Amino acid sequence: MTHLSTQPYKGTRDYYPADKRVQNYIFATWRTVVESFGYEEYGAPTLEPIEVYQAKSGDELANTQTYAFEDRGGRTVAIRPEMTPSISRMVAARRQELAYPARLYSIANFMRYERPQRGREREFWQLNVDVFGVDNNQADSEIITIADQILKAFGATGDEYKIRINSRELINVMTHGYLGLDDTQAQAMIKLLDRKDKITRGDFDEQAAEIVGDKASEVLPKLDALLAADGFESLPSELKETAEAQALQQVFASIAANGVTSAVFDITLMRGLDYYTGTVFEVFDTHPDNNRALFGGGRYDGLVGLFGAEPISAVGFAPGGTMLENFLAVHDLLPENKSATAAYVVVIDESFEAANTLAAALRKEGVNVEVDITARKLDKQIKTADKKGIERVIFVGTKEAESGIYTLKNIVNGADQSLSLDQLVQELA
Ligand code: HAM
Protein backbone atom coordinates (compact mmCIF):
# COMPACT_ATOMS: atom_id res chain seq x y z
CA MET A 1 0.00 0.00 0.00
CA THR A 2 1.34 3.47 -0.81
CA HIS A 3 1.13 5.94 2.01
CA LEU A 4 -0.54 9.32 1.82
CA SER A 5 1.94 12.18 1.69
CA THR A 6 2.66 14.19 4.84
CA GLN A 7 3.50 17.21 2.67
CA PRO A 8 0.92 20.01 2.56
CA TYR A 9 -0.47 20.96 -0.86
CA LYS A 10 2.15 22.78 -2.98
CA GLY A 11 2.61 26.41 -1.98
CA THR A 12 0.67 26.05 1.29
CA ARG A 13 2.10 25.75 4.77
CA ASP A 14 1.33 23.83 7.94
CA TYR A 15 1.50 25.96 11.03
CA TYR A 16 2.84 23.97 13.98
CA PRO A 17 2.69 25.77 17.36
CA ALA A 18 6.09 27.47 16.95
CA ASP A 19 5.02 28.79 13.49
CA LYS A 20 1.64 29.82 14.80
CA ARG A 21 3.28 31.81 17.61
CA VAL A 22 5.16 33.90 15.04
CA GLN A 23 1.96 34.40 13.06
CA ASN A 24 -0.01 35.34 16.17
CA TYR A 25 2.63 37.90 17.08
CA ILE A 26 2.30 39.47 13.62
CA PHE A 27 -1.51 39.47 13.77
CA ALA A 28 -1.55 40.94 17.30
CA THR A 29 0.77 43.78 16.25
CA TRP A 30 -1.34 44.53 13.15
CA ARG A 31 -4.48 44.59 15.27
CA THR A 32 -3.00 46.90 17.92
CA VAL A 33 -1.88 49.47 15.35
CA VAL A 34 -5.05 49.60 13.24
CA GLU A 35 -7.34 49.64 16.29
CA SER A 36 -5.30 52.56 17.66
CA PHE A 37 -6.51 54.49 14.56
CA GLY A 38 -10.15 53.47 15.20
CA TYR A 39 -10.44 50.74 12.55
CA GLU A 40 -13.10 48.08 13.20
CA GLU A 41 -12.83 44.42 12.33
CA TYR A 42 -15.06 42.65 9.80
CA GLY A 43 -15.10 39.23 8.17
CA ALA A 44 -16.15 38.04 4.70
CA PRO A 45 -16.75 34.70 2.96
CA THR A 46 -13.93 32.57 1.56
CA LEU A 47 -15.82 32.11 -1.72
CA GLU A 48 -17.20 34.76 -4.05
CA PRO A 49 -18.73 34.52 -7.53
CA ILE A 50 -15.84 34.74 -10.00
CA GLU A 51 -17.35 37.90 -11.60
CA VAL A 52 -16.50 39.89 -8.48
CA TYR A 53 -12.81 39.55 -9.42
CA GLN A 54 -13.26 39.61 -13.19
CA ALA A 55 -14.86 43.05 -12.96
CA LYS A 56 -11.82 45.11 -12.00
CA SER A 57 -9.05 43.10 -10.38
CA GLY A 58 -7.26 42.67 -13.70
CA ASP A 59 -6.74 39.72 -15.99
CA GLU A 60 -3.76 38.23 -14.16
CA LEU A 61 -5.41 37.97 -10.77
CA ALA A 62 -8.92 37.13 -11.96
CA ASN A 63 -8.14 34.70 -14.76
CA THR A 64 -4.76 33.12 -14.20
CA GLN A 65 -4.33 33.19 -10.42
CA THR A 66 -7.73 32.31 -8.98
CA TYR A 67 -8.69 28.90 -7.73
CA ALA A 68 -12.05 28.81 -9.50
CA PHE A 69 -14.50 25.92 -9.77
CA GLU A 70 -18.10 25.13 -10.45
CA ASP A 71 -20.19 24.44 -7.36
CA ARG A 72 -22.83 21.70 -7.32
CA GLY A 73 -25.42 24.20 -8.52
CA GLY A 74 -23.43 25.14 -11.63
CA ARG A 75 -22.19 28.55 -10.41
CA THR A 76 -18.54 29.45 -10.98
CA VAL A 77 -17.00 30.53 -7.70
CA ALA A 78 -13.46 31.48 -6.67
CA ILE A 79 -11.54 31.09 -3.44
CA ARG A 80 -10.80 34.72 -2.57
CA PRO A 81 -7.43 35.86 -3.97
CA GLU A 82 -7.85 39.26 -2.24
CA MET A 83 -10.31 41.11 0.01
CA THR A 84 -10.92 44.42 -1.79
CA PRO A 85 -13.91 43.31 -3.94
CA SER A 86 -15.59 41.61 -0.94
CA ILE A 87 -15.33 44.61 1.36
CA SER A 88 -16.51 46.88 -1.46
CA ARG A 89 -19.54 44.63 -1.92
CA MET A 90 -20.22 44.73 1.82
CA VAL A 91 -19.98 48.54 1.93
CA ALA A 92 -22.27 48.84 -1.12
CA ALA A 93 -24.85 46.60 0.60
CA ARG A 94 -24.98 48.75 3.77
CA ARG A 95 -24.11 52.12 2.29
CA GLN A 96 -27.03 53.90 4.03
CA GLU A 97 -26.37 52.49 7.49
CA LEU A 98 -22.59 52.91 7.68
CA ALA A 99 -21.01 55.88 9.47
CA TYR A 100 -18.43 57.64 7.30
CA PRO A 101 -15.49 57.65 7.28
CA ALA A 102 -15.98 53.87 7.56
CA ARG A 103 -12.65 52.52 8.82
CA LEU A 104 -12.52 48.76 8.40
CA TYR A 105 -9.95 46.00 8.77
CA SER A 106 -9.70 42.23 8.56
CA ILE A 107 -7.03 39.55 8.92
CA ALA A 108 -7.71 36.63 6.58
CA ASN A 109 -6.18 33.96 4.35
CA PHE A 110 -6.23 34.03 0.55
CA MET A 111 -5.26 31.73 -2.31
CA ARG A 112 -3.54 32.56 -5.59
CA TYR A 113 -2.25 30.08 -8.12
CA GLU A 114 1.30 31.44 -8.33
CA ARG A 115 4.71 29.85 -8.65
CA PRO A 116 5.80 29.25 -5.04
CA GLN A 117 9.12 30.98 -4.25
CA ARG A 118 10.65 33.07 -1.50
CA GLY A 119 7.95 35.49 -0.39
CA ARG A 120 5.27 33.92 -2.60
CA GLU A 121 2.89 31.20 -1.44
CA ARG A 122 -0.33 29.81 -2.84
CA GLU A 123 -2.04 30.32 0.48
CA PHE A 124 -1.06 33.45 2.40
CA TRP A 125 -2.45 35.88 4.95
CA GLN A 126 -3.11 39.58 4.65
CA LEU A 127 -4.22 42.39 6.87
CA ASN A 128 -6.62 44.59 4.90
CA VAL A 129 -7.07 48.18 6.05
CA ASP A 130 -9.51 50.38 4.14
CA VAL A 131 -11.28 53.67 4.68
CA PHE A 132 -14.50 54.39 2.77
CA GLY A 133 -16.35 57.63 2.08
CA VAL A 134 -13.53 60.19 2.07
CA ASP A 135 -12.47 61.64 -1.26
CA ASN A 136 -9.84 64.07 -0.03
CA ASN A 137 -6.19 63.13 0.37
CA GLN A 138 -6.35 63.02 4.18
CA ALA A 139 -7.55 59.43 3.67
CA ASP A 140 -4.59 58.57 1.41
CA SER A 141 -2.26 60.14 3.93
CA GLU A 142 -3.79 58.27 6.88
CA ILE A 143 -3.50 54.93 5.09
CA ILE A 144 0.18 55.48 4.22
CA THR A 145 0.85 56.66 7.77
CA ILE A 146 -0.67 53.44 9.15
CA ALA A 147 1.57 51.39 6.83
CA ASP A 148 4.54 53.25 8.27
CA GLN A 149 3.34 52.87 11.86
CA ILE A 150 2.91 49.12 11.41
CA LEU A 151 6.56 48.69 10.46
CA LYS A 152 7.64 50.89 13.34
CA ALA A 153 5.49 48.84 15.75
CA PHE A 154 7.54 45.79 14.75
CA GLY A 155 10.70 47.71 15.67
CA ALA A 156 11.78 48.58 12.13
CA THR A 157 13.73 51.77 11.51
CA GLY A 158 12.96 54.09 8.60
CA ASP A 159 16.02 53.03 6.58
CA GLU A 160 14.96 49.36 6.55
CA TYR A 161 12.05 49.98 4.15
CA LYS A 162 10.91 52.35 1.41
CA ILE A 163 7.36 53.42 0.69
CA ARG A 164 7.16 53.94 -3.08
CA ILE A 165 4.29 56.16 -4.11
CA ASN A 166 2.72 57.14 -7.43
CA SER A 167 -0.72 58.09 -8.72
CA ARG A 168 -2.89 56.50 -11.39
CA GLU A 169 -4.00 59.97 -12.47
CA LEU A 170 -0.41 61.00 -13.00
CA ILE A 171 0.25 57.70 -14.81
CA ASN A 172 -2.60 58.59 -17.22
CA VAL A 173 -1.11 62.01 -17.88
CA MET A 174 2.24 60.32 -18.37
CA THR A 175 1.03 57.69 -20.87
CA HIS A 176 -1.42 59.86 -22.81
CA GLY A 177 -0.28 63.47 -22.45
CA TYR A 178 3.49 63.07 -22.09
CA LEU A 179 4.21 59.91 -24.12
CA GLY A 180 1.25 60.43 -26.49
CA LEU A 181 0.08 56.80 -26.42
CA ASP A 182 -3.42 55.59 -27.30
CA ASP A 183 -5.46 53.53 -24.79
CA THR A 184 -4.19 50.14 -25.97
CA GLN A 185 -0.57 51.25 -26.03
CA ALA A 186 -0.98 52.88 -22.62
CA GLN A 187 -2.37 49.67 -21.12
CA ALA A 188 0.52 47.66 -22.54
CA MET A 189 3.06 50.25 -21.33
CA ILE A 190 1.60 50.15 -17.80
CA LYS A 191 1.93 46.35 -17.74
CA LEU A 192 5.48 46.61 -19.04
CA LEU A 193 6.47 49.21 -16.43
CA ASP A 194 4.90 46.95 -13.79
CA ARG A 195 7.28 44.16 -14.86
CA LYS A 196 10.28 46.48 -15.21
CA ASP A 197 12.21 45.15 -12.23
CA LYS A 198 11.67 41.53 -13.25
CA ILE A 199 13.24 41.83 -16.74
CA THR A 200 16.54 43.14 -18.12
CA ARG A 201 16.88 46.69 -19.37
CA GLY A 202 17.52 45.31 -22.87
CA ASP A 203 14.26 43.32 -22.85
CA PHE A 204 12.45 46.33 -21.46
CA ASP A 205 13.63 48.57 -24.30
CA GLU A 206 12.80 45.97 -26.91
CA GLN A 207 9.25 45.48 -25.60
CA ALA A 208 8.74 49.22 -25.21
CA ALA A 209 9.73 49.71 -28.86
CA GLU A 210 7.22 47.04 -29.90
CA ILE A 211 4.41 48.74 -27.99
CA VAL A 212 4.95 52.19 -29.45
CA GLY A 213 5.65 50.99 -33.02
CA ASP A 214 6.35 53.84 -35.45
CA LYS A 215 6.33 56.42 -32.62
CA ALA A 216 9.54 54.89 -31.24
CA SER A 217 12.00 57.64 -32.12
CA GLU A 218 9.82 60.20 -30.41
CA VAL A 219 8.58 58.16 -27.41
CA LEU A 220 11.64 56.17 -26.32
CA PRO A 221 13.85 59.15 -25.34
CA LYS A 222 10.94 60.48 -23.29
CA LEU A 223 10.60 57.11 -21.62
CA ASP A 224 14.33 57.23 -20.84
CA ALA A 225 13.94 60.61 -19.17
CA LEU A 226 11.17 59.14 -17.02
CA LEU A 227 13.18 56.12 -15.96
CA ALA A 228 16.06 58.38 -14.98
CA ALA A 229 13.84 60.52 -12.71
CA ASP A 230 14.28 59.63 -9.05
CA GLY A 231 11.88 62.14 -7.53
CA PHE A 232 9.51 65.02 -8.29
CA GLU A 233 12.44 67.33 -8.88
CA SER A 234 13.94 65.34 -11.73
CA LEU A 235 10.58 64.71 -13.42
CA PRO A 236 10.31 66.22 -16.93
CA SER A 237 8.70 69.65 -16.54
CA GLU A 238 5.64 68.73 -18.71
CA LEU A 239 4.74 66.30 -15.93
CA LYS A 240 6.03 68.10 -12.88
CA GLU A 241 3.75 71.08 -13.43
CA THR A 242 0.49 69.16 -13.87
CA ALA A 243 -2.35 69.34 -11.32
CA GLU A 244 -2.01 65.57 -10.85
CA ALA A 245 1.63 65.87 -9.81
CA GLN A 246 0.77 68.70 -7.47
CA ALA A 247 -2.04 66.70 -5.85
CA LEU A 248 0.40 63.91 -5.18
CA GLN A 249 2.90 66.33 -3.69
CA GLN A 250 0.23 67.31 -1.17
CA VAL A 251 0.00 63.68 -0.07
CA PHE A 252 3.77 63.72 0.44
CA ALA A 253 3.55 66.92 2.50
CA SER A 254 0.81 65.45 4.65
CA ILE A 255 2.58 62.14 5.41
CA ALA A 256 5.80 64.04 6.14
CA ALA A 257 3.86 66.05 8.73
CA ASN A 258 2.75 62.71 10.22
CA GLY A 259 6.38 61.70 10.69
CA VAL A 260 6.75 59.39 7.67
CA THR A 261 10.36 59.62 6.49
CA SER A 262 10.65 56.57 4.21
CA ALA A 263 8.41 57.73 1.36
CA VAL A 264 9.76 58.13 -2.18
CA PHE A 265 8.02 59.18 -5.36
CA ASP A 266 8.38 56.58 -8.12
CA ILE A 267 6.79 57.34 -11.50
CA THR A 268 7.36 53.71 -12.58
CA LEU A 269 5.30 52.19 -9.75
CA MET A 270 2.10 50.90 -11.41
CA ARG A 271 0.35 48.29 -9.18
CA GLY A 272 -1.05 45.34 -11.12
CA LEU A 273 -4.71 45.67 -10.09
CA ASP A 274 -7.08 47.51 -12.47
CA TYR A 275 -9.37 49.14 -9.93
CA TYR A 276 -6.97 51.81 -8.65
CA THR A 277 -7.94 55.35 -9.59
CA GLY A 278 -5.64 57.65 -7.59
CA THR A 279 -2.70 57.29 -5.21
CA VAL A 280 -0.96 53.91 -5.40
CA PHE A 281 1.85 52.73 -3.17
CA GLU A 282 3.98 49.76 -2.20
CA VAL A 283 6.28 49.19 0.74
CA PHE A 284 9.63 47.57 -0.09
CA ASP A 285 12.23 46.00 2.12
CA THR A 286 15.63 47.66 1.52
CA HIS A 287 17.38 44.35 2.35
CA PRO A 288 18.65 42.77 -0.89
CA ASP A 289 17.44 39.25 0.09
CA ASN A 290 13.85 40.39 0.20
CA ASN A 291 13.28 42.15 -3.06
CA ARG A 292 9.46 42.17 -3.19
CA ALA A 293 6.58 44.28 -1.98
CA LEU A 294 5.69 43.83 1.68
CA PHE A 295 2.47 45.85 1.39
CA GLY A 296 0.49 47.24 -1.51
CA GLY A 297 -2.47 49.55 -1.79
CA GLY A 298 -4.08 52.64 -3.17
CA ARG A 299 -7.24 54.59 -3.90
CA TYR A 300 -10.05 52.81 -5.76
CA ASP A 301 -13.01 55.12 -6.13
CA GLY A 302 -14.88 53.05 -8.70
CA LEU A 303 -15.30 49.66 -7.05
CA VAL A 304 -18.23 50.18 -4.66
CA GLY A 305 -20.24 51.70 -7.53
CA LEU A 306 -19.95 48.44 -9.49
CA PHE A 307 -22.37 46.87 -7.04
CA GLY A 308 -25.23 49.05 -8.27
CA ALA A 309 -24.75 51.71 -5.61
CA GLU A 310 -23.71 55.34 -5.99
CA PRO A 311 -19.91 55.53 -5.97
CA ILE A 312 -18.19 55.69 -2.58
CA SER A 313 -14.53 56.61 -2.48
CA ALA A 314 -12.10 54.21 -0.90
CA VAL A 315 -8.42 53.94 -0.05
CA GLY A 316 -6.70 50.99 1.52
CA PHE A 317 -3.79 48.61 1.57
CA ALA A 318 -2.84 45.09 2.52
CA PRO A 319 0.34 43.90 4.22
CA GLY A 320 1.12 40.25 3.51
CA GLY A 321 2.16 37.91 6.32
CA THR A 322 4.71 35.95 4.29
CA MET A 323 6.75 38.95 3.24
CA LEU A 324 6.50 40.57 6.64
CA GLU A 325 7.83 37.43 8.32
CA ASN A 326 10.81 37.44 5.93
CA PHE A 327 11.31 41.14 6.67
CA LEU A 328 11.33 40.54 10.44
CA ALA A 329 13.72 37.60 10.02
CA VAL A 330 16.32 39.39 7.87
CA HIS A 331 16.29 42.46 10.13
CA ASP A 332 16.44 40.34 13.27
CA LEU A 333 13.16 41.74 14.60
CA LEU A 334 11.38 38.51 15.57
CA PRO A 335 10.81 38.20 19.32
CA GLU A 336 11.99 35.13 21.21
CA ASN A 337 9.70 32.23 20.29
CA LYS A 338 8.40 31.26 23.72
CA SER A 339 5.40 29.15 24.73
CA ALA A 340 2.36 30.98 26.11
CA THR A 341 2.34 28.45 28.95
CA ALA A 342 3.96 30.01 32.05
CA ALA A 343 4.85 26.76 33.83
CA TYR A 344 4.84 22.99 33.40
CA VAL A 345 3.75 20.97 36.44
CA VAL A 346 6.08 18.02 37.02
CA VAL A 347 4.24 15.35 39.00
CA ILE A 348 6.12 13.33 41.64
CA ASP A 349 4.93 9.79 42.48
CA GLU A 350 1.74 10.12 40.45
CA SER A 351 0.29 12.81 42.76
CA PHE A 352 -2.18 13.83 40.08
CA GLU A 353 -4.85 15.08 42.44
CA ALA A 354 -2.46 17.48 44.18
CA ALA A 355 -1.05 18.60 40.82
CA ASN A 356 -4.49 19.25 39.35
CA THR A 357 -5.59 21.14 42.46
CA LEU A 358 -2.57 23.42 42.28
CA ALA A 359 -2.99 23.89 38.51
CA ALA A 360 -6.66 24.82 38.95
CA ALA A 361 -5.76 27.39 41.64
CA LEU A 362 -3.12 28.95 39.37
CA ARG A 363 -5.45 29.05 36.35
CA LYS A 364 -8.06 30.81 38.45
CA GLU A 365 -5.50 33.57 38.92
CA GLY A 366 -4.89 33.75 35.17
CA VAL A 367 -1.67 31.71 35.04
CA ASN A 368 -1.38 29.27 32.09
CA VAL A 369 -0.13 25.91 33.36
CA GLU A 370 0.15 22.47 31.85
CA VAL A 371 0.22 19.28 33.96
CA ASP A 372 2.33 16.25 33.00
CA ILE A 373 -0.10 13.32 33.16
CA THR A 374 2.22 10.60 31.90
CA ALA A 375 3.58 9.17 35.20
CA ARG A 376 7.08 9.17 33.67
CA LYS A 377 10.39 9.73 35.46
CA LEU A 378 11.00 13.35 36.53
CA ASP A 379 13.84 13.95 34.05
CA LYS A 380 11.57 12.86 31.18
CA GLN A 381 8.89 15.28 32.33
CA ILE A 382 11.41 18.13 32.53
CA LYS A 383 12.69 17.34 29.04
CA THR A 384 9.14 17.60 27.73
CA ALA A 385 8.80 21.11 29.19
CA ASP A 386 12.04 22.09 27.47
CA LYS A 387 10.90 20.66 24.13
CA LYS A 388 7.66 22.63 24.36
CA GLY A 389 9.57 25.87 24.99
CA ILE A 390 8.23 26.23 28.56
CA GLU A 391 10.96 27.75 30.71
CA ARG A 392 9.69 26.96 34.18
CA VAL A 393 8.56 23.82 35.98
CA ILE A 394 6.78 23.35 39.33
CA PHE A 395 7.34 20.13 41.25
CA VAL A 396 4.26 18.68 42.97
CA GLY A 397 4.17 15.58 45.21
CA THR A 398 2.55 14.66 48.54
CA LYS A 399 5.15 16.58 50.53
CA GLU A 400 4.40 19.79 48.57
CA ALA A 401 0.63 19.26 48.85
CA GLU A 402 0.93 18.96 52.64
CA SER A 403 3.30 21.88 53.22
CA GLY A 404 1.81 24.19 50.58
CA ILE A 405 5.37 25.09 49.50
CA TYR A 406 6.43 24.26 45.94
CA THR A 407 9.72 24.31 44.08
CA LEU A 408 9.66 26.51 40.99
CA LYS A 409 12.63 25.84 38.74
CA ASN A 410 13.84 27.76 35.72
CA ILE A 411 15.16 25.02 33.44
CA VAL A 412 17.06 27.49 31.24
CA ASN A 413 19.34 28.92 33.95
CA GLY A 414 18.82 26.26 36.67
CA ALA A 415 17.67 28.74 39.36
CA ASP A 416 15.08 27.44 41.83
CA GLN A 417 12.87 28.95 44.52
CA SER A 418 10.55 27.55 47.25
CA LEU A 419 7.22 29.34 46.99
CA SER A 420 3.69 29.35 48.39
CA LEU A 421 0.69 29.46 46.03
CA ASP A 422 0.43 33.27 46.38
CA GLN A 423 4.11 33.67 45.63
CA LEU A 424 3.81 31.35 42.62
CA VAL A 425 1.01 33.52 41.28
CA GLN A 426 3.12 36.65 41.78
CA GLU A 427 6.05 35.06 40.03
CA LEU A 428 4.11 33.61 37.07
CA ALA A 429 1.18 35.97 36.41
P1 HAM B 1 -1.51 42.94 -3.66
O2 HAM B 1 -0.39 43.83 -4.01
O3 HAM B 1 -1.95 41.95 -4.66
O4 HAM B 1 -2.71 43.90 -3.27
O5 HAM B 1 -1.17 42.17 -2.32
C6 HAM B 1 -0.78 42.88 -1.14
C7 HAM B 1 0.32 42.12 -0.42
O8 HAM B 1 -0.10 40.77 -0.17
C9 HAM B 1 1.61 41.98 -1.22
O10 HAM B 1 2.42 43.12 -1.05
C11 HAM B 1 2.23 40.73 -0.62
O12 HAM B 1 2.93 41.05 0.59
C13 HAM B 1 1.02 39.92 -0.24
N14 HAM B 1 0.81 38.84 -1.23
C15 HAM B 1 0.14 38.91 -2.40
N16 HAM B 1 0.20 37.74 -3.06
C17 HAM B 1 0.93 36.90 -2.28
C18 HAM B 1 1.36 35.54 -2.40
N19 HAM B 1 1.05 34.78 -3.44
N20 HAM B 1 2.13 35.02 -1.39
C21 HAM B 1 2.46 35.76 -0.32
N22 HAM B 1 2.07 37.04 -0.15
C23 HAM B 1 1.32 37.61 -1.11
C24 HAM B 1 -3.96 43.47 -2.92
O25 HAM B 1 -4.23 42.32 -2.65
C26 HAM B 1 -4.97 44.59 -2.76
N27 HAM B 1 -6.30 43.97 -2.64
C28 HAM B 1 -4.60 45.43 -1.55
C29 HAM B 1 -5.57 46.54 -1.26
C30 HAM B 1 -6.38 46.66 -0.17
N31 HAM B 1 -5.78 47.61 -2.04
C32 HAM B 1 -6.69 48.38 -1.46
N33 HAM B 1 -7.07 47.80 -0.32
Provide the pLDDT for residue 230. 82
Instruction: Give every CB contact of residue 72 below 8 A, 6+ residues apart in sequence.
Output: none
Residue to mutate, 124, 294, 304, 313, ligand 1, most ligand atoms under 8 Å from C-beta: 124
- Name every residue whose Cβ is closer than 8 Å to that of residue 5 and which is 6 or more positions away in sequence: none
Q: How far is the CA of 282 from the centre of ligand 1 (A)?
A: 10
β pairing state of 416-419 and 123-132: unpaired
pLDDT for position 291: 81
pLDDT of residue 297: 98
Contacts of 213 (CB under 8 A, 6+ apart): 185
pTM for the full model?
0.94
Substitution candidate for ligand 1 out of 127, 143, 271, 322 with most atoms within 8 A of CB: 322
Amino acid identity of residue 373, one-letter, is I
Q: What angle do CA 346, 348, 351 make, to 5 degrees?
A: 100
Number of other residues whose CB lies within 10 A of the CB of residue 424: 24
Three-class secondary structure of residue 235 per DSSP: coil
Consecutive 10-residue averages of pLDDT for the chain (429 residues): 92 96 97 98 98 90 94 97 98 96 98 96 98 97 98 97 96 93 92 89 92 90 88 88 94 98 94 93 94 94 91 97 97 93 97 97 98 97 96 97 97 96 96
Give me ligand 1 centre to Cα 214, in Å. 37
At 418, which helix (H) or strand (E)? strand 416-419
Question: Atom 1, ligand 1: which residue's CA is nearest?
Answer: 296
Through-space distance between the first and last CA atoms of the chain, rounded to whole angstroms: 51
**Residue 316 CB coordination number (10 Å):** 23
| Residue 273 alpha carbon to ligand 1 centre in Å | 10
Residue 338 is predicted with a pLDDT of 87
